[in-house]
Structure 1
Amino acid sequence: MPVLGLIFFSTQQTGALWSDTENIAEGQSITSGTLDIAVGAGGTTQASYPFTALAKSGMTPGAFAQAPLTVRNSGNVAMRYRLQNANQSNPAVPLTLTVSTVPNEAACPATGNPSGATQLYSGAMVGAQVPQLRALAPGASEVLCMRGTLDSSAAPNTSTTATFTFAAEVG
């Protein structure tokens, strides 16, 4: 009997203004830059990206939904980023999140284990956070393999949506 009606995921990037103060001597110049994180195959920089590739219906306990998510430095300064938080619309649906880096999107199939994966996080979906910052040069990208697994204690006929928030800083 299916337990979960639908899991829909989205990603969000946080935005911030940043500044610094420095004394400039005569003859020196000032250079500015752009810090911008983008997600998805198209590298969208919109505040909210509907990560529909991770949506799945009719899940039973132990089943998972898995999909690649490309993170791109679309700015012109080096950056460091991380998964800052994950929330669910219905936290009573127990999900485990596993986040790994993989060499490319094909290495994160919808079924089976990811290939060439380096695990960054595995634990509860709600409040998930990758502790270490990941470095990306301007124009560079990295593929994350995102897996949501339905725990065995899930109640029948329940559903949830999840939101992932990413943070970036100059690095």
Structure 2
Amino acid sequence: MRNSPGTARPITRYGTPVLHRRCAEVTVFDDALAQLVEDMFASMYAAHGVGLAANQIGVDARVFVVDCADASGAHTIAHVVNPVLHLPEERDLVVESEGCLSVPGQHAELARCATAVVTGVDVHGAPIRLDGTGTLARCFQHEVDHLDGLAYVERLPGKLRKQLLAASAEHPGVGVGTAENV
């Protein structure tokens, strides 16, 4: 975990409209964008998460941050603006427990690709490419899903989704993140 000069913002809960639509492409690369990224890191760390999409703090922008280990245990601390997810043609799926800061206190087994690549740009508009395995690959998929308006619970069977959402509604959601909350 790195120190962030940003300000932690409240995490947006499942059901809030900004979480259920595709986020807007970022077209302005300025100090406000750099501050947003710092606020996202601060928010993620305050909630004990390993990844956070901009709409999880109520901002309609295609940006995510991660501080996450890959399959080898090496940590990646990064942000990506206007990310594009690239999954392998032949998909090796791994089923693991997944949680979400926007659905606090809940986890469920979910299949995701074992590897993923994200391309995009940084806060200055410079190209970025990040390759992920293990939890980092899961984070990339989870965060890009958020930016596309899809929460992980929407990938689950309906009955399980309803159970998790009902249980989450009873959960305070502050400071409950774990290493599995992305």
The TM-score by the shorter chain falls in which range? under 0.3
Bigger radius of gyration: 1
Higher relative contact order (CA 8 A, sep 6+): 1
* TM-score, structure 2 as length reference: 0.25
- Flag the structure with higher strand content: 1
